[in-house]
């Protein structure tokens, strides 16, 4: 998912676990989490819990911010004013979600500036899906339908995650995202009912986005390094494979309704199990994209870095102006001369 | 190198007339005036509010979770503060 | 449906009714400003500004949609808001030149936003008293949006003008670049004169003193020098004589509807 790289090692420096954490404190903490109590910023928490949360929340935030780029690529070319407003509002929401999530991470004692620095240096990860290019307008439909559809599968359970500020941010995110997937599906529906060229555009988008969407849920459960502990701490509430299957089951009938074909010859309905069974995912591609070799990895980071650097003078000036005001206010009022 | 930190502000919004302001999240801004604008642009995009407060995050004093028992436990043993503690016959009617 | 649609560029003749031409002028300016602001997406100097710029862009796009919808009804030939936005060529556009200039750096963008909002806010306020009820309703809504744009951009002008040496230098340059395009916002030609006479539109010239006072106050607080009032002013947008930049903007914006004639999106 947006935090799929949790299952991989990244270069983000984290606080070391103290040699011995008070066993009693750990037990009390785990009992609280088991009882569905929420953990709040000032509460005692194991160092590994804090570390995992910072990584997960910041990866999620980075994904939202980098995720603005592929869709932002089409704002100026949206084919109607209605679509233009909807797309801009959606990409703006992604910026907002990044903002809420960075703020949630900040409650754990890291600053937004530090988190940005980790992203811009290439140390921190973000979702692999955003390293694919948006080549036609249909990609905007496919992203809304598939990528947001996958995201929402993951995000709804996160509304009940054990860390209070993260859960509250996710509640706001989910509430706002409710239009995103519908927006995308409506685009796909319009295209698949449109001209032959438009229908081909929609099929091509499904062909390119289907497998990367399935990869969004992260590696299979057996290979997922951090899953067990995250599940116990209720940072994560379903396994990668469970969520992936839920997504496939929900999405395949929607695709058939569009009259489109999934690029998977092995896709079939298992009537006994009640699930859509899908073919093997190309994990080599997933690993390559996560390692930085996707079609757009370098471009995405470079764009973000350029935006950040070309805004530095603005942030400096704003801080300098605030300092001037404080200095003026601190000056003793001068008597009329 | 990490650049200078943009101050953090906590945002409180009154959703409707008659309600109190409620914490909704935070924003970064250089000063109070810009923090108010940022809060408006971030947290009231779907008609969520009628009034905004912003407070420097650093200005908030919070109770220590370790004091939870000392601060909040004693209140549990004072049921006489609640109306259900008192017996009033049903035929007296609503009181 | 393709084949029926006339794909030649839609012309609204220069001798079309003044009200239609005027509504199109307002719509074109709003859409082009919204489009330019939307180009900031993913590039703003702070995350909070991403949201602020997108909010303003959405306000402008919303204004443009209401105005195009009204223009299409006035035109009465079954055209839609999208036909007017996507199927007219550069010479048929009537926006102010200042709206179509490229964004430049953040200094240029917030200064444009400020200079334009300072003109539009009093304009919408006056237009809200129009004898044309539709225009009055659109203006009443737009006035509130412009008031916020003015405040937001004005706060930035002050901070960047009176911030660091670099921000002051950039703001000074932006002011020199944009100032020659401010005069056009107060021009009234025969089209507007006719509407002014009927009580449908306010006289932009009468609103100029309020704009000058606002600009002088904010620039003074921003420690920026007010440019000389007699400087030569650029003009032509309302007659369809544009800068080189509008054609590129339209080429991008209109690409899909132009490439797939008659398709529905």
Which residues 106-125 on chain C approach chain A with CB closer than 8 angstroms?
106
Q: Contact, C42 vs C50, CB < 8 A?
A: yes
Is residue B56 a part of any domain in this protein? yes
Q: Mean of the pLDDT values across residues A286-305?
A: 95
Q: Mean of the pLDDT values across residues A48-53?
A: 94
**Cβ contact C47–A65 (<8 Å):** yes
The percent of residues above 70 in pLDDT, for chain A, comes to: 91
Mean pLDDT of chain A: 92
Has residue A14 got a pLDDT over 60?
no
**Residue B33: which domain range?**
8-82
The ranges assigned to domains in chain C are 9-259
Has residue A15 got a pLDDT over 60?
no
- Output the tens digit of pLDDT for each of chain C's 265 residues: 333 445 456 678 778 999 999 999 999 999 999 999 999 999 999 999 999 999 999 999 999 999 999 999 999 999 999 999 999 999 999 999 999 999 999 999 999 999 999 999 999 999 999 999 999 999 999 999 999 999 999 999 999 999 999 999 999 999 999 999 999 999 999 999 999 999 999 999 999 999 999 999 999 999 999 998 767 899 999 999 999 999 999 999 999 999 999 999 9
Q: Does C155 touch chain B (CB under 8 A)?
A: yes
Name which of C114, C145, C120, C138 is nearest C221 in CA terms.
C114
What per-residue string of b and e applies to A84-104 under the rule 16 or more CB within 10 Å gives b?
bbbbbbbbbbbbbbbbbbbbb
Nearest-angstrom CA–CA distance, A227 and A225: 6
Q: Contact, B9 vs B57, CB < 8 A?
A: yes
Which among B30, B34, B64 has CB closest to A42? B64
Which among C48, C148, C151 has CB closest to B38? C48
Nearest-Å Rg of the Cα atoms of chain C is 18
Q: What is the DSSP letter of A127?
A: -
In this predicted structure, which of A17-31, A64-78, A255-269, C99-113 has the lowest mean pLDDT?
A: A17-31
**Cβ contact A307–C41 (<8 Å):** no
Which residue blocks in chain C are alpha helix, DSSP H?
A: 18-38, 47-75, 81-86, 97-100, 106-127, 133-161, 165-178, 190-197, 204-221, 245-253, 255-259
pLDDT for A7 equals 47
Cβ neighbours of B40 in C, within 8 Å:
148
Q: Does C111 touch chain B (CB under 8 A)?
A: no
Chain A closest-CA separation from residue B30 CA (Å): 5
Give the pair of three-digit tokens for residue B25.
Answer: 């999240």
* Other chains touching A, judged by 3 or more CB pairs under 8 Å: B, C
Nearest-angstrom CA–CA distance, C263 and A136: 15
CB count in 10 Å sphere of residue C251: 11
pLDDT digits 0-9 by tens, B29-81: 999 999 999 999 999 999 889 999 999 999 999 998 888 889 998 888 888 99
Nearest-angstrom CA–CA distance, B75 and A267: 61
Nearest-angstrom CA–CA distance, C237 and C127: 21
Q: Which CATH number fits domain C9-259: 1.10.10.10, 3.30.465.10, 1.20.1260.10, 3.90.740.10?
A: 1.20.1260.10
Cβ neighbours of A318 in B, within 8 Å:
6, 30-31, 34
Handedness of CA A310, A314, A320, A323 (dihedral sign): negative
Chain A closest-CA separation from residue B18 CA (Å): 23
Residues 6+ apart with CB under 8 A from A91: A68, A71, A72, A75, C41, C42, C54
Q: Identify the CATH number of the domain in which residue B50 sits.
A: 3.10.20.520
CB count in 10 Å sphere of residue B68: 11
**Cβ contact B6–A113 (<8 Å):** yes
The phi and psi torsions of B25 (rounded to 5 degrees) equal: 155, -160
Q: Contact, A145 vs A254, CB < 8 A?
A: yes
Give the pair of three-digit tokens for residue A142.
Answer: 């496919």
Q: Does C8 touch chain A (CB under 8 A)?
A: no
Work out the angle between the directed axes of helices A148-158 and A196-215 (0-180°, nearest 10). Answer: 40
Nearest-angstrom CA–CA distance, A61 and A51: 15
Instruction: Please state the domain count of chain B.
Output: 1
Q: Does B61 touch chain A (CB under 8 A)?
A: no
Cβ neighbours of A106 in B, within 8 Å:
8, 26
* DSSP states along A176-207: HHHHHHHHHHHHHHHHHTS-HHHHHHHHHHHH
Q: Which element (helix H / strand E) includes B25? A: strand B22-28
Q: pTM above 0.90?
A: yes
Is residue B3 a part of any domain in this protein? no
More confident residue, C32 or A21: C32
Q: Does C212 touch chain B (CB under 8 A)?
A: no
Query: Which one of A84, A93, A184, A311 would you mutate to disrupt binding with C, by most C Cβ within 10 Å of its Cβ?
Result: A84
Give the pair of three-digit tokens for residue A4.
Answer: 């799929």
Residue in chain B lying closest to C158 (CA): B34
pLDDT for A4 equals 64
Is residue B1 a part of any domain in this protein? no
Is residue B20 a part of any domain in this protein? yes
How, if at all, do strands B51-56 and B8-14 pair? antiparallel
Following CA atoms C18, C19, C25, C28 in sequence, which dihedral angle do they give, to the nearest 10 degrees?
A: -140
């Amino acid at each position: 998912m947006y935090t799929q790289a949790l299952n991989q090692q990244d270069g983000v420096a984290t606080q070391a676990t103290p040699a011995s954490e008070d066993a009693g404190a750990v037990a009390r903490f785990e009992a609280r989490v088991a009882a569905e109590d929420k953990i709040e910023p000032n509460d005692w928490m194991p160092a590994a819990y804090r570390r995992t949360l910072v990584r997960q929340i910041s990866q999620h935030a980075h994904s939202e911010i980098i995720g603005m780029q592929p869709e932002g690529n089409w704002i100026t070319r949206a084919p109607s004013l209605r679509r233009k407003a909807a797309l801009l509002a959606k990409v703006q929401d992604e910026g907002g979600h990044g903002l809420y999530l960075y703020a949630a991470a900040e409650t754990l004692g890291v600053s937004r500036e530090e988190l940005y620095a980790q992203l811009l240096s290439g140390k921190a990860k973000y979702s692999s899906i955003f390293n694919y290019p948006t080549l036609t307008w249909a990609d905007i439909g496919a992203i809304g339908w598939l990528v947001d559809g996958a995201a929402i599968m993951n995000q709804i359970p996160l509304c009940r995650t054990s860390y209070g500020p993260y859960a509250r941010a996710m509640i706001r995110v989910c509430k706002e995202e409710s239009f995103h997937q519908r927006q995308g599906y409506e685009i796909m529906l319009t295209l698949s009912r449109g001209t032959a060229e438009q229908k081909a555009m929609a099929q091509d988008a499904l062909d390119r986005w289907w497998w990367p969407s399935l990869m969004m849920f992260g590696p299979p459960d057996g290979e997922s390094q951090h899953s067990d502990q995250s599940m116990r701490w209720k940072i994560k509430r379903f396994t990668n494979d469970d969520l992936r299957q839920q997504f496939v089951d929900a999405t395949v009938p929607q695709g058939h309704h569009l009259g489109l074909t999934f690029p998977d010859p092995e896709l079939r309905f298992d009537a006994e199990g009640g699930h859509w069974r899908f073919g093997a995912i190309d994990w080599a591609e997933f690993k390559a994209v996560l390692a930085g070799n996707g079609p757009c990895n370098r471009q995405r980071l470079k764009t973000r870095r350029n935006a950040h650097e070309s805004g530095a003078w603005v942030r400096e000036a704003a801080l300098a102006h605030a300092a001037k005001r404080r200095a003026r206010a601190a000056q003793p009022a001068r008597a009329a001369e | 190198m990490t650049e200078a930190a943009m101050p953090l502000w906590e945002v409180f919004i009154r959703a409707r007339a008659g309600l109190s302001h409620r914490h909704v999240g935070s924003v970064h801004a250089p000063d109070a005036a810009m923090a108010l604008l940022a809060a408006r642009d971030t947290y009231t995009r779907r008609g969520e509010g009628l009034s905004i407060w912003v407070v420097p995050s650093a200005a908030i004093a919070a109770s220590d979770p370790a004091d939870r028992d000392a601060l909040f436990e004693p209140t549990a043993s004072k049921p006489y503060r609640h109306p259900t503690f008192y017996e009033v016959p049903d035929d007296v009617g609503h009181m | 449906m393709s084949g029926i649609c006339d794909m030649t560029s839609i012309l609204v003749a220069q001798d079309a009714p003044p009200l239609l031409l005027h509504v199109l002028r307002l719509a074109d300016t709003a859409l082009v400003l919204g489009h330019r602001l939307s180009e900031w997406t993913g590039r703003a100097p702070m995350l909070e500004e991403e949201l602020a710029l997108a909010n303003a862009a959405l306000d402008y796009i919303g204004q443009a949609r209401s105005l195009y919808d009204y223009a299409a009804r006035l035109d009465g030939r079954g055209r839609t808001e999208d036909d007017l936005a996507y199927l007219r060529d550069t010479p048929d556009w009537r926006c102010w030149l200042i709206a179509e200039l490229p964004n430049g750096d953040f200094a240029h963008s917030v200064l444009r936003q400020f200079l334009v909002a300072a003109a539009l806010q009093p304009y919408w306020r006056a237009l809200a008293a129009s004898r044309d009820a539709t225009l009055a309703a659109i203006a009443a809504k737009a006035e509130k949006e412009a008031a916020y744009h003015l405040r937001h951009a004005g706060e930035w002008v002050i901070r960047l003008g009176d911030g660091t040496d670099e921000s002051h230098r950039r703001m000074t340059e932006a002011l020199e670049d944009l100032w020659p395009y401010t005069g056009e916002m107060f021009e009234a030609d025969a089209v507007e004169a006719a509407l002014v006479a009927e009580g449908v539109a306010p006289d932009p010239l009468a609103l100029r003193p309020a704009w000058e006072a606002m600009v002088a106050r904010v620039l003074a607080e921003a420690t920026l020098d007010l440019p000389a009032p007699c400087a030569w002013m650029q003009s032509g947008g309302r007659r369809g004589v544009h800068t080189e930049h509008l054609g590129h903007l339209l080429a991008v914006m209109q690409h899909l509807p132009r490439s797939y004639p008659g398709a529905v999106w």
